[in-house]
Amino acid sequence: MKYYVCLIFILFTDSSLAGAWGVGSFDNDSALDWVYELESAATSTVLNDTFNNTQGRKYLEVDECSAAFAAAEIVASLNEKKYTHLPGEVQAWIKNNGIEVNQELKTRAAAAIASCKNSKISEVAQLWEESAKSEWISYISKLQSRLR
């Protein structure tokens, strides 16, 4: 009986503490948490604010860069006019707010990505270098090219 109770506890504990963590812009809990902030915003100001949070900083934590990658993915998707791969909440936000992409917004997104992929100042870059560096760099490179 003790064995079953222990096993149930382990299974429950592992699944309740496990978070999302993947290469894609919306494949982690921090980015998905940022989507809640996005949903309450009615303008692209939330995107600019997110990008600005990555500039001029000595150190960038995972949450800041995860939000910046998610915001950059939105800008890249708007630039390409392809939204179906985005989470439903993000697609609804785009539809409801009619956000237009301009060169300044793309430049800010690109600058945020550059900061967040710098392993000297970015926690997320450091973490990816320890685990799946080539997969992450490939994804980020594609995201950067979609902003041009």
- SS3 at position 46: helix
Q: Tell me if 100 sits within 8 A of 38, measured CB to CB.
A: no
Confirm whether 4 is domain-assigned. Answer: no
Confirm whether 101 is domain-assigned. Answer: yes
Give me the domain span that covers residue 65: 23-146
Task: Check the CA dihedral 97-146-49-83 and report its sign.
Answer: positive
Confirm whether 141 is domain-assigned. Answer: yes
Confirm whether 2 is domain-assigned. Answer: no
In tens digits, the chain (148 residues) has pLDDT values of 544 333 333 333 333 344 657 888 999 999 999 999 999 998 889 999 999 999 999 999 999 999 999 999 999 999 999 999 999 999 999 999 988 899 999 999 999 999 999 999 999 999 999 988 899 999 999 999 999 9
Domain count, the chain: 1
Cβ-in-10-Å burial (0-12, 13-18, 19+) of 29 comes to middle
Confirm whether 100 is domain-assigned. Answer: yes
